[in-house]
Every structure is written in structure tokens, then in C-alpha cells.
């Protein structure tokens, strides 16, 4: 039995996504390309666009009805990838597609968790303000975004700002990891004085929130 020859429109779509050519993506879709085409790793054109931060391409694909929640063999999706890249522009390009903010990656985390670990301050602020993502979601490691920002962060100003954004959005500083250790205790053990102080003050307030005064902590 002979193999079915590849659809020229599908090939054109794949090439256009790789090049970041939104007009060529639009043309390929008009020619009948499959917007949910999968590569050998299960990645769709939209997921590939998100990985490459091809925002204009993503906008075309979302407008054409591409699935923002389609996951590949590693459980990555276009939406989940934005938490890794920290691209606010891509996050916003995907919002019209109705992303499932409860969708989890292979570690059981929602997008705000890897964003917090990596210190993507602008993304953390935006995703918390513009979606109803769960700021206290716990992944398979037993960590919330707040815990990841401390445990896997460097204790620098960037991660301090992430912690502040999470607390400002209502993150609970009293939630411990699987061993019963809180974010504050981790910060103290690692010598992250400013973060530990912020968490200490947040924990003493009703609701666990904290806000900057005069733009400084």
C-alpha cells in the first residue's frame, strides 16, 4: 500500500508557521490546510507559533478556529507554553480562542506556575489580572506558584516582584509544600531576606495580600 502524498497546503502551512509569515499562513488555510495538523511530536501549528512567539501567526490561526488547548506528546499546549516563554503578547493573542486556564502541563501545573519560577513578572501580572486562573493551584510536586517562585527562583528583585504580584492577587502564603514547609520558611532557609520579609508581612494581614507603597517594598 503506497503512502498518501502530503497535502501541499499542509506543507505550505508548516513552512509559513516556521517562517512566521502570517499572510502565507492565511493563504495556506484558504487552500485547505489542516489547522490542527500534528508533527511527529504531536505539536499543532498554533503550538509551534507559541513556541516561536509568532504572535501574528497565532492571531491568524486563532481567528481560523485553531484549538488553543490542543496538547502535544509532552502535554504542552499553546496556552501552557506562554507561561514558559512569558510572552504577554502571545497570551493575549490566544485569549479570543477561549483557553482552558485549568489545563495542566506534565508537572500538573497551570501556566502561572512556570512563569513564576522563571521570573516572568509582566506575564504573572497579566495572566492574574486578565483571566480567572487559580493563583493557588498546586502541581504534582506539591508546589504553588508562590512556592516555585521561592524554591526555584534566585531570590532576586525579579522574583521578589513575582512574589508581590502573586500576593497582590490573593495567593495564600500559608500554603506549605508536600513536606509542610511554607514559602516563607523556604525563603528564610535560602537567605532571601526581602522575600521572607514580604511573606512575613503578608502572613500577618487578613487575606494574605500585600501591596506596594510608593512603588517600593
Q: What is the pLDDT of residue 204?
A: 73
Query: pLDDT of 30-79, one tens digit each?
Result: 999 999 999 999 999 999 999 999 999 999 999 999 999 999 999 999 99
What is the mean pLDDT of the segment spanning 19-36? Answer: 98
What pLDDT band is residue 2 in, cutting at 50, 70 and 90? low
Q: What is the pLDDT of residue 1?
A: 46
- According to DSSP H, which parts of the chain are helical? 8-19, 22-30, 45-51, 55-63, 78-85, 88-94, 112-118, 121-130, 145-151, 157-168, 183-190, 193-203
Q: 88: how many CB neighbours lie within 10 A of its CB?
A: 19
What is the mean pLDDT of the segment spanning 75-92? Answer: 98
Q: Is the pLDDT of residue 3 over 80?
A: no
Say what the pTM is. Answer: 0.90
Q: For residues 204 and 111, which has the higher predicted lDDT (pLDDT)? A: 111
For residues 187 and 196, the answer to whether their CB atoms sit within 8 Å is yes
Q: What is the pLDDT of residue 203?
A: 83
In the chain, the domains with their CATH numbers are 11-26+34-100 (1.25.40.20), 108-211 (1.25.40.20)
Average confidence score pLDDT of the chain = 92
Q: For residues 215 and 105, which has the higher predicted lDDT (pLDDT)? A: 105
Amino acid at each position: 500500500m503506497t503512502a498518501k502524498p502530503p497535502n501541499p497546503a499542509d506543507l505550505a502551512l508548516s513552512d509559513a508557521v516556521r517562517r512566521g509569515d502570517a499572510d502565507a499562513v492565511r493563504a495556506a488555510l484558504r487552500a485547505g490546510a489542516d489547522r490542527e495538523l500534528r508533527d511527529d511530536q504531536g505539536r499543532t501549528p498554533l503550538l509551534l507559533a507559541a513556541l516561536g512567539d509568532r504572535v501574528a501567526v497565532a492571531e491568524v490561526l486563532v481567528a481560523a478556529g485553531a484549538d488553543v488547548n490542543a496538547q502535544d506528546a509532552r502535554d504542552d499546549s499553546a496556552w501552557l507554553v506562554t507561561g514558559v516563554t512569558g510572552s504577554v503578547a502571545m497570551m493575549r493573542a490566544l485569549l479570543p480562542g477561549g483557553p482552558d486556564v485549568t489545563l495542566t502541563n506534565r508537572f500538573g501545573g497551570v501556566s502561572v506556575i512556570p512563569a513564576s519560577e522563571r521570573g516572568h513578572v509582566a506575564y504573572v501580572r497579566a495572566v492574574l489580572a486578565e483571566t480567572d486562573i487559580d493563583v493557588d493551584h498546586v502541581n504534582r510536586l506539591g508546589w504553588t506558584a508562590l512556592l516555585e517562585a521561592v524554591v526555584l527562583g534566585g531570590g532576586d528583585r525579579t522574583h521578589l516582584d513575582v512574589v508581590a504580584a502573586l500576593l497582590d492577587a490573593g495567593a495564600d502564603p500559608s500554603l506549605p509544600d508536600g513536606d509542610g514547609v511554607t514559602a516563607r520558611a523556604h525563603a528564610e532557609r535560602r537567605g532571601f531576606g526581602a522575600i521572607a520579609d514580604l511573606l512575613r508581612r503578608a502572613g500577618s494581614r487578613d487575606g494574605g495580600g500585600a501591596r506596594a507603597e510608593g512603588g517600593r517594598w
